[in-house]
Structure 1
Amino acid sequence: MRAYEDWVVEAESKGLKISSVVLQNQIEELELSGEALFDRMGNNLKVMRESVKIGLSGKRRSASGLVGGDAAKVEEHRKSGSTLIGEVMSGVIAKALAVAEVNASMGRIVAAPTAGSCGVLPAVLFTLEEIFHSDEKELLSALFTAAGLGIIITERANVSGAEGGCQAEIGSAAAMSAAAAVELAGGSPRQTAHGAAIALKSMLGLVCDPVAGLVEVPCVKRNATGAMIALTAAEMALAGVKSAIPIDEVIDTMAEIGHQMSCSLKETAQGGLAATPTGRKIRADFL
């Protein structure tokens, strides 16, 4: 079983970024050229960018009527200058909601790592693009770092809400985004590991309880909070804050928690918020 620590050690020993190690690994495993892989990732980045734009327009609504328009509300509030947390952080929330709303309305998104967690990574990447004026190659490299961690999580645990709860979806997305953010901000391979670990630790035990069985409530808003946790974790890692528990052990712990979690809290819509009086009423009205 692969470990993220192995990639960190390799990157440190060769003076490389995590993204370079991941890219070489994928070149060998998939038997594709680096150019071909960058082209693939470029298409993913394009779809992410389009989904942010579409979601921020406020024109998309889900079939249930539960989701749609909130991203535009947050964006309008951000532009008004009255935001509590500043325009940058408010923008993160708006972008994350935007992509998740496009997903809920059956639009085109990139599962990163899942459809239910699709808004976290784009929100983080495009926010940092604005801050650092990153070029496309830098963004694509950050995506390879995120993808590399996603590979490790999939092998050591899973990214499925039905298997591991929302910690496996939004938690994994937050960890992947934190690692990508650290690299994009100029952090070391070791710091990407600390950022990812801090992010994932913060979401351990999060249940998957979609109201009416739809990937809408509370899923969409969790994308926004997941993106904020990712940036918080990245900020700490870049400042030199370390995770006492290594990322691979945090991933293994997530898997174990998922095994212990009741099936009613793993995407079955039988527990959690889905089982509240309002949650049951929404289900009855929708069905």
Structure 2
Amino acid sequence: MVHWLPKKGLGQEEKMIKYDTIKEICDKAEARGIKISELCLEDQSEQMGLPKEEIYAMMEKNFDVMVESVGKGGDKNLRSTSGLTGGEGATMLEYSQKAQGGLMGEFMTKAIGRAMCVSNCNAAMGRIVATPTAGSCGILPGCLVSMYQDKGYNKKDIVMSIFTAAAFGMVIAKQASIAGAEGGCQAECGSASGMAAASLVELMGGSPKACGDALGMSLVNQMGLVCDPVAGLVEIPCIKRNVSGVVIAFSSADMALAGVELKIPVDECIAAMKSVGDSMSSALKETAMGGLAASPTGIRLRKEVFGE
């Protein structure tokens, strides 16, 4: 993602968004009657001392990489370096063309297929955009590439919505964590799902507050999710968790757009996620010592990859 760095000597701290809370960002955007993405692009331009057009171009390049990684990961013959995974995304995309698109319909089936493709690309050492991490890299592309390629949404609007996702991700990183090793998979796939949900709400014309609510709903639905990668690799069950992250992002966005109330303020949801992560056993935080990684099959697969 684009780095959000302060420029020294501005002397305009009161104008800058500190990205301490989601409420702070949403309130400022609401007060000015603009989108969160517009606010964030403007703020980053000031902080980095670069023209908005240059920063937008950087983010557009990120989106282009997302599209490319969907394509590369969609190769059914592509395999991870471990040999444990490969072709899952291609299988889902093929399935989306059969049986009326499956139980969820063609659009959603293709969206989760694309998420798996990006995860496959990552597992095969391909180029991806960490949004916010490599382990959760398929969620935002699964949502936004689908809105671009299947729904025909304007590329500029989609690229702009990534600024909203990035700003929200910064708050989570600052107030809780985006790392599985620190907060479990709730910190990776949970955060990615919330960021994607917020971007979808903005893309659909929702208010800044609705963007925040969508983020909160995504976090609520993945609270406590552990990080237990088999053999310590970002493959099993990570690829499939990217799928659930996409589904939760779309459903959370729809709930927020419909006006369903979050009940617990989004910043309190982030604080709760941190509390849960802090209390989680180290065996369930990317150490491959617990959960599925410690199952008989998980142990067997680890030995197949690394030996005794």
Unmatched runs of 5 consecutive residues or more in structure 2? 1-17
Query: 231-240 or 19-28: which moved more?
Result: 19-28
Do the aligned partners of 1:81 and 1:87 also contact (CA within 8 Å) in 2? Answer: no
Structure 2 counterpart of 1:33, which letter? P
* 2:60 paired residue among 42, 62, 71: 42
Of stretches 145-154 and 81-90 in structure 1, the one that deviates more from structure 2 is 81-90
The whole-number CA distance in structure 1 between the counterparts of 2:291 and 2:166 is 30
| Residues 1:84 and 2:103 are matched in the alignment | yes
Q: Aligned partner of 2:279: which letter?
A: Q
Cα distance between partner residues in 2 of 1:58 and 1:180: 29
Q: Which range is displaced more, 202-211 or 21-30?
A: 21-30
Please list the CA deviations of residues 184-224 of structure 1 after superposition, one character each: whole Å capped at 9, or x if unmatched.
01111111011110011100100000001111000011001
AA aligned opposite 2:277: G
Report percent identity of matched pairs.
47
Alignment of 1:88-127 (within 5 A): 88-127=107-146
User: Does the 8 Å contact 2:66/2:145 carry over to 1?
Assistant: no
* Structure 1 residue 132, shift from structure 2 partner: 4.1
- The structural deviation recorded for 1:50 is 0.2
Which one is further off, 11-20 or 126-135? 126-135
Instruction: Report if aligned partners of 1:264, 1:271 keep a CA contact under 8 Å in 2.
Output: yes
Q: Name the structure 2 match of 1:198.
A: 217
Preserved CA contact (<8 Å) 2:217 2:262: yes
2-structure distance, mates of 1:24, 1:79: 42
Structure-1 residue corresponding to 2:44: 26
Q: Which sits farther off after the overlay, 19-28 or 231-240? A: 19-28
**For 1:84, what is the secondary structure of its paired residue?**
coil
Structure 1 residue corresponding to 2:246, chosen from 227, 236, 251: 227
Post-superposition Cα deviations, 1:168-191, rounded to whole Å, max 9, x if no partner, equal 000000000000000001111111
Query: TM-score normalised to the size of structure 2?
Result: 0.91
**Is 1:163 aligned with 2:182?**
yes
Of 152, 168, 176, 2:171 maps to: 152
2:8 counterpart residue number = none
Letter in 2 for 1:49: V
State the shift of 1:129 in Å.
2.1
User: 1:62-81, aligned counterparts within 5 Å?
Assistant: 62-81=80-99
SS at match of 2:190: helix
Once the two structures are TM-superposed, the CA of residue 21 in structure 1 deviates from its matched residue by 1.4
Distance 2:175 2:69 in 1: 30
Report the CA distance between 1:274 and its aligned residue: 0.3
Q: Which residue of 2 aligns with 1:128?
A: 147
SS in structure 1 at match of 2:114 = helix
Q: Is the 8 A contact 1:67 1:101 kept in 2?
A: yes
Q: Distance in 2 between matches of 1:29 and 1:16?
A: 19
Instruction: Give the Å deviation of 1:6.
Output: 0.9
What is the TM-score normalised by the length of structure 1?
0.97
Of 172, 177, 196, the match for 2:191:
172
- The corresponding residue for 1:52 is 70
Q: 1:7 deviation in Å? A: 1.1
Which of residues 289, 296, 307 in structure 2 aligns to 1:277?
A: 296
SS in 2 for 1:191: helix
* Corresponding position of 2:4: none
Offset of 1:259 from its aligned partner?
0.7
- Aligned match of 2:7: none
Counterpart contact for 2:228–2:287, Cα < 8 Å: yes
C-alpha separation between the residues in 1 aligned to 2:252 and 2:285?
A: 25
Q: Number of residue pairs matched? A: 287
Match of 1:259 among 254, 278, 287: 278
Q: Which amino acid aligns with 2:93?
A: E
Deviation at 1:28, TM superposition (A): 2.3
CA distance in 1, matches of 2:269, 2:45: 28
Q: Give unmatched runs, 5+ long, in structure 1.
A: none
Q: Counterparts of 2:50 and 2:281 in 1: how far apart (Å)?
A: 41
- Once the two structures are overlaid, the 10-residue window that deviates more, 81-90 or 229-238, is 81-90
